[in-house]
Amino acid sequence: MLEKTNQVNLLFDFYAPLLKGKQREYLELYYLDDLSLGEIAEMHEVSRQAVYDHIKRAERQLFEYEEKLLLAAKHEQRQALLERIRRIVEELADGEAREELQALLHQLSEMD
């Protein structure tokens, strides 16, 4: 379950803007704010089943988007490469270049 939660959270970071109204809203309340289905249902005055359906559909969509665009997978690969680059840069004797490179690598890493 924790594994699933982590995956959904990660995918949500990348694809949230593509999800539609209720799907995005309920998914966020359930996974990010950790409310129960019952609590979300009560809050929105809808059935528990309706909340469940929206969340399940939203989950499916997140996994479908990832299958098509691979943003999370590419993010991970990029971060791994950046980490290798950072380690080499750390060891550079040229202090000025090292600091400049570290600043740029930090920017690059944050962008992702």
Residues that bind its own copies (CB under 8 A): 14-15, 17-18, 65, 68-69, 71, 74, 77-78, 81-82, 84-85, 88-89, 91-94, 97, 100-101, 104-105, 107-108, 111-112
Q: What is the closest distance, in whole angstroms, from the C-beta atom of residue 50 to its own copies in the complex? A: 25
Q: What is the closest distance, in whole angstroms, from the C-beta atom of residue 88 to its own copies in the complex? A: 6
Q: What is the closest distance, in whole angstroms, from the C-beta atom of residue 60 to its own copies in the complex? A: 15
- Nearer Cβ to its own copies, position 46 or 82? 82
36 Cβ contact list (under 8 Å, min separation 6): 30
